[in-house]
Amino acid sequence: MKDQLNIPTHLKFRASYLFFILYNILIGVGIVEYPRRVYNYAQQDSWLVLILVALIAHSIVAITIFILKTYKSTDLYGILQETFGNWFAKLICYLFIIYFFTVYLSALAKYTEFIVVFIFPQLSKFIIGFLITILIAYSIYGGIRVIVGVSFLFFLLTIWVFGLLAVPASMIDTNNYFPLFNLDRNGLLQGLRVSAYSFIGIEVLWFIYPYVRNKDKAMFYSQLGVLAAVVILFISVIISIGFYAPKQLESLIWPVLGMYKIISFSIFERLDIFAVSYWIFIILPNLILYAWLITRSLKRIHQIKQKHSIWAIIILSAIGLYFIQSSIKLEALLDVADISSIFFVFLFPILLFPFAIIKRIRGTKK
Amino acid sequence: MKRKSTKKKQQSLFPSTLEEVEKDLNEKALNSSPDFTMKVVETESNQRVGFYFLYSIIKPQVVYEQIISPIQKAKKTLDIKAIDNMIVLPNSKQESNIDEIAKKLLQGAVCIYIENDQSCLMHSVPLQEHRSIDRAETESLIFGPQMAFTGSIETNLNMVRNMIDTPHLKIERFILGNKIPNEIQMIYMNDIANEENVNELRKRLTSLQSEDIMNASVLSQKIEDNPYSFFPQYIVTELPDRFTYSIKEGKIGILVDNSSAGIVAPITFSSFFESTDDIYGRWVIGSFTRLMRMFAMIMSITLTPLYVAALTFHYEVIPEALLLSLGESRNRVPFPPLMETLILETMMEFIREAGARLPTKVGQTMGIVGGIVIGQAVVQAGFTSNILIILVALSALASFTTPDYVMGTSLRILRFPIILLAGTFGFVGIFFMVAFIIIHLLRLRSLHRPYTAPIYPFRFSDFDQSQVRIPFALNKRRATSLLPKKTKRKKSNADQHPLFNTKGKDIDE
């Protein structure tokens, strides 16, 4: 127990906020195209695949929290330092930082692409990215209290957007759901791989856990947060499959945004325009959490002030946005993020698991 | 060493003759004030007694009747103690330092000096002319007590004391302002207010380095958490009932001398949309108006930007039927929607500001001229569309529902950057700005307490006293967001309500 983090009490938050943090980091840009991606491989069995992956994700959360609990009140860096020593801990954390930045940049670029495609075809992605980065820096400057507040308030502000999907849900053709259980092994594996990408973000627990005040409830609320995200993903998959004709779903790039197109009110038509702009509220907590993760882990490793490292992120993301203006390059970046997520989200906790068990056993023997 | 030298100086002044004292006081300490007065009285025992005062700030009748005439009639030889004994007024003090004497004289004291004595006696009889207790000008109530704070701290304290007559009301006095000192009183309920809040506010007041505290509004800006924010972080209110209500709920009040307003701290964003009228009226009315004000606030800052964004970039979101009438009303307008809206909004602000600056009688005419004549003419001239007039009027109206004038104005000004962003980035611009405001609100604090409570940090149990107003029978506890010492209100009150004594009884029993 040499490296315990002493977070001042006024910076800690109730465990119930973990629900909003996990929900927000899981639901971001990915959900917009998820139904198509999983449908490409798993067809009508997509939702079964999702449930399978969700079960795995829940157990990953359980393992992560088990490990964190074993080491009392410290974050990933502290844990690695204690088990593997300084050098290795730094290496892994660097990998994590690079990974976080890749995810952050790809999400930012993806959202700017929505706007360019749907609303402003002539506008440079750079400007929208710049606007969003201002918001990110501004909230990072507010500290952990504001970051948790952002994920809480924006959850409340955006949850109804998914409620609007009730309109396309009322137009479902049930024939689209059949045939069921038609999945071969390759389809299942590919479907699992694609679905795994939707669970990028569970790693936030590694760094945010020390800030939780009542840690005994951390498990419950983080599982609940993941469950909420799974429910939203599940709804979007089910409605997409039912709403679109099979061939159509395969060819649509962003099926979820497409569904908003048919919703209209007496003073408001074409809700997809609104939804794309409103998506900024969904994407913002997501990006803020990633930016926080980067600055926080840099602070843990090198004691770099978060005030300074956030500027590095802003400059780097500006450079990054400049280089990935084209969709092809963005897809390449997303692929990198996706593939690395399998290691960082799913494999890493499992690899660390035995060490935690050993530590527990040793602890009880003493 | 230093001490000795000052002592010597003092000794050089007293004892001396009355004329010398006058010279020293008036020429050295008071820079030759024309209203400096000396009155010399010779008693029957042939002692010469001098009275010094500034006649503009003393009560002359009191001075002549209570101070000068008893001494004039005295038959024994007098010393300071005897004089003090003769005068029935409270608050006397012996003083021998000439600067201190001058300071007291400026605050409305009379200096009494027996010739060749060692020190003199100061009696405070200040004359403070203030307007009488009147109706509030900036905040209006329907049911509440129709009175407002006046400029005198004594009168204001008197009102507060009368409304909260319990020994638990604690009052702390500060003299602030390095150059022009002013009296400030911090008022709170000893048994309810959170000690951390009280200590924090006391620390801010005592550590405040300021030349001059003009009034409550200025003081509130000097002790804010974030002075750069466009939202006020304390409520400055004219209404004694709102002030005392907040104190009774565990907040802290500040009264400033020569200021007809009090400061309430700490507060939350939603308390700007509460009025004591919500409490005086029935709970349905109170809850409805509170929710309506919140809705109006959101509408007032987003309505015209949505118009600009929809017409500039996203005309496809407007349904066909509406698009036709919009196009009809806009077909003569030569400007882009952004400019059209800016023109009309600026005009609206002109009318508002003109109405606020002009005397009441002229102001009313101004409103009519601005509202009807200009509005009608603008549409006929083809400067703006009819629909925009409706929207601008609606959002202006909505912004006036905010009970706090400062907050209402801040929100109205906030509309301009949103309109500009809506005109450049459409919906994305609007949501960008809204997100910015939300993050800003999350960052703000009032006395280190979160500004957005009870929404974040989320306390569902506090919603019944901020966002809505529940019936008194159910209102058993104070809002916990302020962390008061006692959250429960007196238990007996709630239980005695007949509604709650029906346990186990059937209807008509």
Query: Which residue does chain B place closest to A270, by CA atoms?
Result: B317
Indicate which of A111, A115, A130, A139 best probes the interface with B, i.e. most B CBs within 10 Å of its own CB.
Answer: A139
Q: B311 with B403, same domain? A: yes
Indicate which of B438, B447, B459, B483 best probes the interface with A, i.e. most A CBs within 10 Å of its own CB.
Answer: B438
How many domains would you assign to chain B?
4
Q: B292 with B261, same domain? A: no
Structure-token match 């799974």, residue found: A230
Per the structure block, which two tokens stand in for B116? 């060749």
Q: B114 with B172, same domain? A: no
| ipTM computed for the complex | 0.94
Cα dihedral B413, B415, B420, B425 sign = positive
Whether residue B302 contacts residue B294, with contact meaning beta carbons closer than 8 Å, is answered with: no
Residues of A in contact with B443 (CB under 8 A): 138-139, 141-142, 146
Q: B320 with B440, same domain? A: yes
DSSP secondary-structure letter at B460? G
| Span A40-92, pLDDT tens digits | 988 888 989 999 999 999 999 999 999 999 988 888 999 999 889 899 999 99
B323-329 contacts at long range (C-beta below 8 A, 24 or more positions apart) = B325/B387, B326/B385, B326/B387, B329/B385, B329/B386, B329/B387
Indicate which of A280, A292, A310 best probes the interface with B, i.e. most B CBs within 10 Å of its own CB.
Answer: A280
User: Does A284 sit within 8 Å of B435, measured CB to CB?
Assistant: yes
For residues A115-133, one letter each, b for 16 or more C-beta atoms within 10 angstroms of the residue's C-beta and e for the rest, the string is bbebbbeebebeebbebbb
Residues of A in contact with B458 (CB under 8 A): 16, 152
Q: B382 with B255, same domain? A: no
Task: Quote the crossing angle between the two packed helices A86-118 and A76-84, to the nearest 10°.
Answer: 150
Cα dihedral A8, A14, A15, A19 sign = negative
Bridge partners of B41, per DSSP, are: B49
**Which helix (H) or strand (E) segment is A96 a member of?**
helix A86-118
Q: Rounded to whole angstroms, how far apart are CA atoms A115 and A278? A: 11
Q: In what order do the strands lie in the sheet with B36-42?
A: B36-42, B48-54, B109-114, B120-124, B92-95
Q: How far is CA B164 from CA A129, B240, B281, B471, B488, in A?
A: 55, 11, 21, 22, 18
- CA triplet A157, A150, A70: central angle to 5 degrees? 120
For residue B280, the tally of other CB atoms under 10 A from its CB is 15
User: Does B426 sit within 8 Å of A280, measured CB to CB?
Assistant: no
Residue A285 has pLDDT above 90, yes or no: yes
Going by C-beta distance under 8 Å and a sequence separation of 6 or more, which residues neighbour residue B29? B98, B99, B101, B102
Q: Rounded to whole angstroms, how far apart are CA atoms B14 and B119? A: 7
Residues of A in contact with B439 (CB under 8 A): 135, 138-139, 142, 146, 150
Residue B507 lies in a domain: no
Please indicate if any CB of chain A lies within 8 Å of the CB of B390.
no
- The pLDDT value recorded for residue B87 is 84
Q: pLDDT above 90 covers what percent of chain A?
A: 56
Residues of B in contact with A132 (CB under 8 A): 432
Q: B333 with B441, same domain? A: yes
For β-strands B252-256 and B445-446, DSSP reports them as: unpaired
Residue A337 lies in a domain: yes
Q: How far is CA A16 from CA A20, A212, B110, B459, in A?
A: 8, 9, 65, 12
Whether residue B186 contacts residue B172, with contact meaning beta carbons closer than 8 Å, is answered with: yes
The residue type found at A165 is L
Residue A3 lies in a domain: no
Residues of B in contact with A126 (CB under 8 A): none
Three-state SS sequence of A138-203: HHHHCCHHHHHHHHHHHHHHHHHHHHCCHHHHCCCCHHHHCCCCCCCHHHHHHHHHHHHHHHCCCC
Residue A57 lies in a domain: yes
| Span A218-261, pLDDT tens digits | 999 999 999 999 999 999 999 999 999 988 988 888 999 989 98
Q: pLDDT above 70 covers what percent of chain A?
A: 99
Residues of A in contact with B459 (CB under 8 A): none
- Position A341 confidence tier, pLDDT thresholds 50, 70, 90: confident
- Position A364 confidence tier, pLDDT thresholds 50, 70, 90: confident
How many domains would you assign to chain A?
1
Q: Rounded to whole angstroms, how far apart are CA atoms B41 and B49? A: 5
Structure-token match 């209500």, residue found: B245
**Which helix (H) or strand (E) segment is B345 a member of?**
helix B337-357
User: Does B427 sit within 8 Å of A274, measured CB to CB?
Assistant: yes
- CA triplet B130, B135, B138: central angle to 5 degrees? 100
User: Does B443 sit within 8 Å of A152, measured CB to CB?
Assistant: no
Please indicate if any CB of chain A lies within 8 Å of the CB of B455.
yes
Residues of B in contact with A141 (CB under 8 A): 443
Mean pLDDT score, A293-307: 91
For residue B162, the tally of other CB atoms under 10 A from its CB is 10
Closest by Cα among A31, A53, A21 to A236: A31
Structure-token match 């803020």, residue found: A288
Range of the domain at B481: 460-499
Smallest Cβ distance to B456: which of A153, A268, A273?
A153
- Position A134 confidence tier, pLDDT thresholds 50, 70, 90: very high
Residue A326 lies in a domain: yes
Q: B421 with B290, same domain? A: yes
Going by C-beta distance under 8 Å and a sequence separation of 6 or more, which residues neighbour residue B420? B338, B342, B429
Residue B505 lies in a domain: no
Q: How far is CA A55 from CA A1, A41, A49, A192, A229, in A?
A: 32, 19, 10, 11, 13
Q: B292 with B434, same domain? A: yes
Q: Rounded to whole angstroms, how far apart are CA atoms B40 and B32? A: 19
Q: B325 with B217, same domain? A: no
Q: Rounded to whole angstroms, how far apart are CA atoms B385 and B339? A: 12
Per the structure block, which two tokens stand in for B468? 């809505």
Residue B508 lies in a domain: no
Residue B368 lies in a domain: yes
Answer left, alpha or beta for residue B214, where phi above 0 means left and psi between -120 and 50 means alpha: alpha
Cα dihedral B129, B131, B132, B133 sign = negative
The CATH number covering residue A160 comes to: 1.20.1740.10
3-class DSSP state of B287: helix
Q: Where are the beta strands (DSSP E) in B196-289?
A: 235-237, 252-256, 262-265
Residue B242 lies in a domain: yes
B8-15 contacts at long range (C-beta below 8 A, 24 or more positions apart) = B10/B96, B10/B97, B10/B98, B13/B96, B13/B98, B14/B96, B14/B117, B14/B118, B14/B119, B14/B120, B15/B115, B15/B116, B15/B117, B15/B118
The residue type found at A312 is A
Q: Rounded to whole angstroms, how far apart are CA atoms B108 and B63? A: 11
Instruction: Give the ranges where A217-326 is alpha helix by DSSP (H).
Output: 218-243, 246-251, 255-259, 271-302, 306-323
Q: Rounded to whole angstroms, how far apart are CA atoms B373 and B378? A: 8
Three-state SS sequence of A297-333: HHHHHHCCCHHHHHHHHHHHHHHHHHHCCCHHHHHHH
Q: B288 with B405, same domain? A: yes
Mind telling me how many Å the CA of A254 is from chain B's nearest CA? Answer: 19
Q: Rounded to whole angstroms, how far apart are CA atoms B143 and B278? A: 9
pLDDT in tens for each of the 509 residues of chain B? Answer: 444 444 444 445 677 788 888 888 888 788 888 888 888 888 877 888 888 888 888 888 888 888 888 888 887 787 888 888 888 888 788 888 888 888 888 888 888 888 888 888 888 888 877 778 888 888 888 888 888 999 889 899 999 999 999 999 999 999 988 888 899 999 999 988 999 999 999 999 999 888 888 889 999 999 999 999 989 999 999 999 999 999 998 899 999 998 999 999 899 999 999 999 898 989 999 999 999 999 999 999 999 999 999 999 988 889 888 888 888 888 888 999 999 999 999 988 888 888 888 887 777 777 777 777 888 888 888 888 888 989 998 999 999 999 998 999 999 999 999 999 999 999 999 999 999 999 999 999 999 899 998 888 888 888 888 888 888 878 777 887 777 777 777 655 545 566 666 667 777 76
Residue B52 lies in a domain: yes
Range of the domain at A53: 9-346
Per the structure block, which two tokens stand in for B395? 């959002």
Residue A226 lies in a domain: yes
For residue B256, the tally of other CB atoms under 10 A from its CB is 28
Three-state SS sequence of B349-371: HHHHHHHHHCCHHHHHHHHHHHH
- The pLDDT value recorded for residue A59 is 95
Going by C-beta distance under 8 Å and a sequence separation of 6 or more, which residues neighbour residue B317? A268, A269, A270, A271, A273, A274, B310
**Which helix (H) or strand (E) segment is B20 a member of?**
helix B18-23
Whether residue A331 contacts residue A187, with contact meaning beta carbons closer than 8 Å, is answered with: no
Residue A353 lies in a domain: no
Whether residue B173 contacts residue B183, with contact meaning beta carbons closer than 8 Å, is answered with: yes
Q: In what order do the strands lie in the sheet with B262-265?
A: B169-176, B182-189, B252-256, B262-265, B235-237
Q: B333 with B421, same domain? A: yes
- The pLDDT value recorded for residue A246 is 87
Q: B298 with B421, same domain? A: yes
For residues B55-91, one letter each, b for 16 or more C-beta atoms within 10 angstroms of the residue's C-beta and e for the rest, the string is eebbeeeebeebbbeebeebeeebebeebeeebeeee
Query: Which residue does chain B place closest to A156, by CA atoms?
Result: B455
